[in-house]
Structures are given as structure tokens and as C-alpha cells.
């Protein structure tokens, strides 16, 4: 996942989230991903047959790390979880 | 789907949320634009063009807010006050200029379908773009 951010389709990303216990809710035009253990977390994913923006995959990794569902990448130079440098 | 809740979500989605546009590249080398509302963490969409991405984000925002309402959670309000907003046209023009993109012919139509006529957007968007151009 961390090695390739491109070539992902909506169903690929949904499968990834589901594998980590997330719930998929079907919205009007987007899928909404939620997790029973993190009620305030949610993410909208474009329901498209085309390829997803790599940004979706980067954000998914960040989300899984932030929620403690995967280990932060070792060579990440202490960047994970840091927001707002103002 | 609860239509009453859906309509409420739609009305709330018209609020002046800041939005960001990021340019990315697909596996075939073509550009893709990822849009998000920073005040609604996790609310995002994408499009092949900037205007398509902004339009799709408006749709995503309704689904996002609907899910909050459905779960009985508070809907975050736009954090930037009206005194810190500028015209939609100026903010979008900044984005288009920074990305060296051309506006589509129906750009105004897209904007008017997504934002209410009197809508003013946070200058946050323009400020972000200025930071990018300064790098």
C-alpha cells in the first residue's frame, strides 16, 4: 500500500478500510467510511469507476496510523500525526 | 434515506466552508484534482478538472453532513468569519492561476450551482495558494 499510491479504484480502497473494521455507508454520490470505535471519524470517497487520486491513499495511510490501526512508517522522520505548524 | 435529513444536510452544506484543491497525477500521467473541506475533516472528492472537483466536493459535503446528522453528531461550522472572506471569483482565480489552468466555459454555471449567489468564501483558500507559490 505504501509503495504504490496510484492505480487504486474505489472498491480497492473500500476493501482496505473494511479490512480494518470500517463500515461503509452509501451516500448520494459518495461512500462514507466510518468506524464503530471512532465515532467522530469519517471520510468521503468518490464513487467512481475511474482511478482514485493518490491523495486518497496517502490520507488512508495517515488515518490508519492516526487511529493506531497500523504502525507508523519507521523512515518517516517523525512526521506522522503532526498537524498545523502555523 | 431520510429525505428530511437529506434536505437539512443540503442546506447546511451551503455554508461558507473553506476548501482546498490539490493537484495529483494518475498512473497514466494525467492530472487529477483532490478537493477537501478542512473544517469537515475527511470530507473530500476529486475531479479531472478543478471545476469538476469543486462540484463533486459539494456533493460529498452533503453526504458527509448527512452522516453526521444521522449519527446525532454536531456539524462543524465554518471557522472563518465573514470579515475574512473574499469573493468566490477571486479565490478561484487564484487557484486557476497557481495551477496554470484554464477555466472551462461553464465555470460560472458550476460555481452558481454549488454556492449561493451571495456566497463569499474564506480567503483561507487564497492564502494557502500564496504559500504554495512562495515555495
In the predicted structure, residue B11 carries a pLDDT above the cut 70: yes
The number of beta carbons lying within 10 Å of the beta carbon of residue B121 is: 23
pLDDT band at residue B9, thresholds of 50, 70 and 90?
Answer: very high
pLDDT band at residue B17, thresholds of 50, 70 and 90?
Answer: confident
> d(Cα B87, Cα B120) in Å, to the nearest integer?
5
Q: Name residues 64-83 of chain B within 8 A of A (Cβ).
A: 64, 66-68, 70-71, 73
Asked if B78 and B61 count as a contact pair (C-beta separation under 8 A), the reply is no
Sequence length of chain A is 86
The domain spans of chain B are 3-134
Q: Which residue has the higher pLDDT, A43 or B127?
A: A43
Taking the Cβ of residue B24 and every Cβ of chain A, the question of whether any pair is shorter than 8 Å is answered with yes
Which range scores top for mean pLDDT: B53-57, B91-95, B105-109, B126-130? B53-57
Q: Work out the widest C-alpha separation in chain B, in whole angstroms.
A: 46
From the CA of B10, how many Å to the nearest CA of chain A? 11
The number of beta carbons lying within 10 Å of the beta carbon of residue A43 is: 24
pLDDT digits (tens, 9 = 90+) for B18-31: 888 888 899 999 99
Of B69, B76, B60, give the one whose Cα is nearest residue B114: B60
> d(Cα B106, Cα B101) in Å, to the nearest integer?
14
The overall average pLDDT reported for chain B is 74
Answer whether 0.90 is exceeded by the pTM: no
> d(Cα B33, Cα B39) in Å, to the nearest integer?
19
β-bridge partners, A35? A38
Taking the Cβ of residue A9 and every Cβ of chain B, the question of whether any pair is shorter than 8 Å is answered with no
Architecture of domain A10-67: 2-Layer Sandwich (3.30)
CB contacts of A55 in chain B (<8 Å) are 22, 24, 34, 44, 46
Pick the CATH number of B3-134 from 1.10.1660.10, 3.40.5.10, 3.30.160.250, 3.50.50.60: 3.30.160.250
- Taking 70 as the pLDDT cut, the residues of chain A under it are 1-3, 75-86
pLDDT digits (tens, 9 = 90+) for B61-110: 999 999 999 999 999 988 654 444 555 555 555 555 544 455 555 555 55
The domain spans of chain A are 10-67
ipTM: 0.82
Q: Which residue has the higher pLDDT, A45 or B113?
A: A45
Sequence length of chain B is 135
pLDDT value for B127: 43
Amino acid at each position: 500500500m505504501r509503495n504504490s499510491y496510484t492505480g487504486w479504484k474505489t472498491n480497492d480502497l473500500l476493501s482496505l478500510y473494511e479490512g480494518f473494521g470500517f463500515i461503509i455507508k452509501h451516500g448520494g454520490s459518495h461512500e462514507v467510511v466510518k468506524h464503530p470505535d471512532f465515532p467522530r471519524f469519517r471520510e468521503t470517497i468518490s464513487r467512481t469507476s475511474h482511478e482514485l487520486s493518490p491523495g486518497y491513499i496517502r490520507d488512508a495511510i495517515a488515518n490508519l496510523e492516526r487511529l493506531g490501526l497500523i504502525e507508523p512508517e519507521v523512515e518517516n522522520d517523525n512526521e506522522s500525526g503532526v498537524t498545523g505548524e502555523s | 434515506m431520510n429525505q428530511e435529513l437529506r434536505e437539512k444536510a443540503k442546506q447546511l452544506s451551503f455554508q461558507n466552508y473553506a476548501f482546498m484543491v490539490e493537484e495529483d497525477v494518475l498512473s497514466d500521467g494525467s492530472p487529477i484534482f483532490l478537493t477537501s473541506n478542512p473544517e469537515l475533516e475527511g470530507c473530500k472528492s476529486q475531479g479531472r478538472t478543478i471545476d469538476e472537483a469543486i462540484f463533486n466536493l459539494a456533493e460529498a459535503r452533503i453526504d458527509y453532513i448527512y452522516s453526521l446528522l444521522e449519527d446525532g453528531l454536531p456539524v462543524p461550522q465554518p471557522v472563518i468569519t465573514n470579515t475574512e472572506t473574499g469573493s468566490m471569483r477571486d479565490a478561484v482565480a487564484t487557484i486557476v492561476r497557481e495551477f496554470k489552468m484554464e477555466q472551462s466555459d461553464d465555470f460560472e454555471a458550476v460555481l452558481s450551482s454549488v454556492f449561493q449567489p451571495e456566497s463569499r468564501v474564506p480567503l483561507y483558500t487564497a492564502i494557502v495558494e500564496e504559500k504554495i507559490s512562495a515555495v
